[in-house]
């Protein structure tokens, strides 16, 4: 059974930093691209970032480019999101999501999410 | 960036009804489109990918169609467990700038 378990979400002040983690199990982690997708409270879904199966290629939404960094450790079956220069508008539930293939761009499994609140 | 526009934003329907949700892309995306279902407090669930391919385990009452800029999700006979919010998502752009529609809430009439 595929499982994705996010952690690391907390309340952080504007301008602060945070690192989210996602532990994956139930599939061959290094066969798939992985994503972060977020959802602000009561709002819709926003894709945040994509990393290729080997970590060699990364892509970001314009809203986070230059502030967030996606990475992965295939030896630990783990995905990460380093978030710097956080803003109030980054407040959201952050989901880790598995790509349907090497980078098909569709999300076939999701975690339960971890809540990031940016507030003073 | 490619903008995705869903309509309607909400729909009231009864069990057994046929429900159709549309999604329009701001430019052609071939068949690079997915549909997701999200229930309150839960993560989204993939229903349809590549515009019309049914994800494994998804009931056959869900179907998708379209290509280019106009797409449709149809629920042929609405069931109680189908009351949820539905999102379309495009995967055509490269470098990837994946975008979602604003969502359609399917409510009980």
Strand segments, DSSP code E, in B52-103 are 53-54, 62-67, 70-75, 85-90, 99-100
- Distances A19 to A110, A115, B26 between C-alpha atoms, Å: 18, 12, 34
Rounded-to-integer distance, Cα B76 and Cα B63, Å: 8
**A106 Cβ partners below 8 Å, 6+ apart?**
A99, A100, B34, B46, B49, B50, B89, B91
Span B43-80, pLDDT tens digits: 999 999 999 999 999 999 999 999 999 999 999 999 99
- How many residues does this entry show for chain B? 109
- Tell me, yes or no, if A62 comes closer than 8 A to chain B by beta carbon: yes
- Distances B46 to A72, B20, B29, B98 between C-alpha atoms, Å: 23, 17, 19, 15
Percent of chain B scoring above 90 in pLDDT: 92
Please give the pLDDT value at position A102.
Answer: 66
Span A47-94, pLDDT tens digits: 999 999 999 999 999 999 999 999 999 999 999 999 999 999 999 999
Determine the residue among B57, B85, B91, B105 to mutate to test chain A binding: the one whose Cβ has the most chain A Cβ atoms within 10 Å: B91
B22 and B72 Cβ atoms separated by less than 8 Å: yes
Rounded-to-integer distance, Cα B77 and Cα A42, Å: 28
Q: Do A45 and B36 touch (CB under 8 A)?
A: yes
> What is the helix (H) or strand (E) element at residue A81, kind and residue range?
strand A78-83
Sheet holding A68-73, edge to edge: A3-7, A18-25, A78-83, A68-73
* Residues 5-34 of chain A whose Cβ lies under 8 A from any Cβ of chain B: none
Mean pLDDT of the region B3-31: 97
């Amino acid at each position: 059974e595929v499982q994705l378990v996010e952690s690391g979400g907390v309340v952080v002040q504007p301008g602060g930093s945070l690192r989210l983690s996602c532990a994956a199990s139930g599939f061959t982690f290094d066969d798939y691209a992985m994503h972060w997708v977020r959802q602000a409270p009561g709002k819709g879904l926003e894709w945040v970032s994509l990393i290729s199966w080997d970590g060699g290629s990364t892509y970001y939404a314009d809203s986070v480019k230059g502030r967030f960094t996606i990475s992965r450790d295939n030896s630990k079956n783990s995905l990460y999101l380093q978030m710097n220069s956080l803003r109030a508008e980054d407040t959201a539930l952050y989901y880790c999501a598995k790509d349907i293939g090497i980078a098909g761009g569709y999300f076939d499994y999701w975690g339960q999410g971890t809540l990031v609140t940016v507030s003073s | 960036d490619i903008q995705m526009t869903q309509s309607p934003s909400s729909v009231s329907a009864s069990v057994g009804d046929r429900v159709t949700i549309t999604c329009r892309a701001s430019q052609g995306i071939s068949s690079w489109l997915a549909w997701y279902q999200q229930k309150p407090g839960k993560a989204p669930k993939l229903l349809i990918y590549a515009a019309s391919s049914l994800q494994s385990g998804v009931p056959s009452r869900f179907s998708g169609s379209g290509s280019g800029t106009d797409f449709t999700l149809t629920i042929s006979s609405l069931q109680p467990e189908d009351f949820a919010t539905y999102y379309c998502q495009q995967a055509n752009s490269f470098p990837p700038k994946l975008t979602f529609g604003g969502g359609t809430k399917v409510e009980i009439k």
